[in-house]
Structure 1
């Protein structure tokens, strides 16, 4: 039996190498409203409007980042109890408020099989997982805190 678990919005330093706050991230324009996002570690992602096809919209990237962050943050707790090969899908499907052009609610929904646990063990594991997410999910913590977003800075490119 697969259960759907809803959680609010985390990876400890011991789980993975965390990039420094100054690791370069950037996007480059490909065409009309389409970009490729890059990291200094060689990762890339295609970004654009839904009608551009096989791209993520910026809002989708935010939702994916939140879901992945919650999964990474709770991974150790679930793996310890369910085994390293446990399966989960985490969805963030809340609708966009089209009038305000924003997402008023972002709900992470874990689809995970906990049928092998009794009610007490299940409740304990979910409490531990939620604490892990609340403590370590940078994306969720940032959104909940209402990160400040200063005005964009516009600079003349430097010549190499």
Structure 2
């Protein structure tokens, strides 16, 4: 998550964004339109078009990131009320707008058993869970804020 800091005397557009510490992330090309994504912690994910088989498309990774972020952000609220062993599946199934080549809506849909709770406790828990997601889900907050994406930088190796 990033924090916004304001430089004294700066206009709102000159406000600095202080990035949080992050581990390096990168992708390496494997073949035609296929890549492997890496983190410095040793995680890896295969990326490519759906026709490449057992890979995630970039759009699928976006949806999975949003679902996982919502789950992680609401986990404590649900575990506190339902127990540490509660089960949930979170789906993001909204369709792509093919004409615009983008996802106009991304809806997190929790499949979770709340039948042990009465209506009042269920409503209270869902409110707390949504507040937790709104406060702590970096992916959702980034998408809702409309993150600025500068043009790609193309660096050539020296030599």
**Would you say same fold, with TM above 0.5?**
yes
Give the TM interval when normalised to the shorter protein: 0.7 to 0.9
Count of residues paired in the alignment? 159
* Change beyond 3 A, Cα 1:16–1:92: farther
- TM-score between the two structures when normalised by the length of structure 2: 0.86
Q: Which has the larger radius of gyration?
A: 2
Query: Could you tell me whether the CA contact under 8 Å between 1:49 and 1:57 is conserved in 2?
Result: yes
Unaligned runs of 5+ in 2: none
Distance 2:69 2:8 in 1: 11
* Change beyond 3 A, Cα 1:146–1:70: same
RMSD: 9.9
Distance 1:46 1:8 in 2: 45
Unaligned runs of 5+ in 1: none
- Structure 1 runs of 4+ with >2 Å offset: 1-22
* Change beyond 3 A, Cα 1:125–1:116: same
Secondary structure, counterpart of 1:123 in structure 2: helix
- TM-score between the two structures when normalised by the length of structure 1: 0.86
* Change beyond 3 A, Cα 1:155–1:13: closer
